[in-house]
Structure 1
Amino acid sequence: MVSAKKLKCSQCGKEYLPDMITFHCECDGSLDLIYDYKKVRKLILMADFIRERPWHWKYWMFYPVDDLTQAVSFEEGGTPLFLSKRIRKTVDLEVFFKYEGSNPTGSFKDRGSSIEITKAIELGANSVCCASTGNMGASVSAYSAKAGITCKVFVPEVTPSLKIAQILGCGAEVIRVEGNYADCLRLTEEANRRYDVYLVGDYPYRSEGQKSVGFEIVDQFYWNVPDYIICPMGNGTLTRAIWKSFLELQKVGLINELPKMVGIQAEGCHPIVDAFKYDYDKPIPIKKAHTIADAIACEDPVDGYGALHAILESGGFAETVTDNEIIAAQKLLGHSEGLYAEPSGAVSTAGLIKYKEKFEGKKVVSIVTGHGLKRAPVGDMPEVMTIKNDFDELDKIFP
């Protein structure tokens, strides 16, 4: 690998070889890639790093990829970071939105898929399998098609039809499971044990890819660090990955400060928030999620431990929002900023509005994780006027 030294369990500390095909530790903990940061720093100094535009593969020296010429990519990343024009007046804060809906398949998942599928190819896989609430499956199916490998995606029975259509549209096989996301995850991991199928999902290489959200934020701030970063949380991988990106930038000397991480979950599925509030060492799984934010309806979060400890280490906090607050934030993002987000993507903004007093006087980045075209609209929609094809009908619209 370019600079990866080992895989290390975030819970028990057990170490593995960096190219070993393993998806989590024997203790069931999540695995982290550990790098030779002196080598990373040298690679940064050798590259025209600072002047290159922010995009996902700019940060290749922080990824566990051997042959960059074989990278599977749709030019993901480089997503816009907007300074709020109107919502900041509502919350009286300096607010920025990182809009991940502009990625190739419409969500932040493309960053992780690019690294995961590249590594799957390097490790000799010719087919992959994943559990998904929809967005990951859509992303993995697209990158698998580009790489020329087959893909099976297990989805919960309540998965929106638009997301299933996107997965099928890229040639993957969809298996709808009579159960929730946790049930899908158990089935895919059993498939790995029985049939040695290569798993993709919220495992080490995906987390490494999702670090680029954090890298880009700093880059787009001209190597300055915001005070807070707010993330929606399902499995918790994005929160954990962004925190790791800042720690790594600090290790190589590109930044001196660190942000506080804030994780927001829906009231109908909040095991990570419960762990934060009740001082658990890791989240306790729940039986069934009940929320319109289906993309983050993860009853047993794979990276819950990592997300929880990222929030604790950074001095941040975790909170919940209701479905009504999510719908209101989704509407506000669209009407005030022109950002059309799916409900799960608006969760961070709902948290920003609900807990605005906690951010007083600070620079805040809210991660909008997915495009609104990902699913059918929720909540009451305005009635659409119909007129005859007649010029005189315009008087009804422009009195």
Structure 2
Amino acid sequence: MKASLSRLPLGILTAFVIVTLLVFSVVIVYGGVNSMEGQLEARMLEKMPANAVEAYRDINSGKVPRPDALQALLASTEGLEEWGDWEVDKLILGFGGVAVTFCGLVGYWLARKISRPLEVLARATQDLRAGDFAVRVGSIRKGAKEVATLVKTFDELAAELESMESRLRFNTMAVAHELRTPLTILQGNLQGMADGVFPLEQERVRQLLLQVEGLSALVEDLRTLSLAAGQKLVTQRQPVDLAVEATQVLGASRVLLGSVGMSVELALQPVQISGDSQRLRQALLALIENATRYAASGGVLRCETGRRGADEAFVRILDRGPGLPDDVSTYSIDLFWRGDGSRSRATGGTGLGLSVVQAIAKAHSGRLEFASRAGGGAVITLVLPRETTA
């Protein structure tokens, strides 16, 4: 009962405490005045004449008092009435003060128990504002239902901010790592040509242009991820047939696929979704380029489109390459993640391909799935909802 009472909504809990304290106040005043009734009666009798006291006791015992004693009682009652009223008022005021003091202390104690989590939360908020994203309030034993919900929400927010801060730190280091190599190459070669150390040869300029193209691709991929973070990656949607989009992208990629010796298998079933055709083609092209870099040894790439259940559509890329790590998932595709675990740029690309595909999938309320292919290879599936709402 004690634990459940502290988890009542704040309005109900406040009303319950107020009513309880009012009842305590009435009990204290009423009980105190009743307990002093005997003493008040004794003091009143001390102020009355002897024959008036005799008449008072005879009446209380059920006897008929003597006429002179009754007359004395009536005469003394008129004089004691004002005194009795004042004594009763003093008793009420006195025990009322006791009730106020007692209920005030109890109310303060209860209020402290209810509000203590808010004090802890306030300190934690100050720490969070100061940059300590590891701060947590934890579970609380006291406090209203709203306070418990607020504390839980704060801890979840702090955990999310800590995760975001960690990812931001990692991504910043990863961007610096990816930019360092091409910039060093460009700076070294240009400085050498400016100093006359390296001759101005067409082949050398062509190699430098490749580095510039790589930097441009990296900047464009980072821009795509920035738009995704700002919920601006997909702004216009229209009916899109995934089979048609896959046919167009594969047709444009035949030279790329042929250059690495990969043949194409198709199993395209028409399926319509509501989406951004340009972004979907970008995602599919990124999956194809990823396969040409890491799965060219398999010699074949298979593309499938179709429906999954009543509410989902998919685009699936299958290869016969070395496959993906066992622990890969949509939650482990960080910036510059590469399936072979390499941090080098030897295989080409920006390392952002799967991150971009995942961002495009999420922008369409979809997801990216990974699996191993029977007989060897990887299966990457872009799953999208078939709802036509924007």
Output the TM-score relative to the length of structure 2.
0.21
Which structure has the larger Rg over C-alpha atoms? 2
| TM-score scaled by length of structure 1 | 0.21
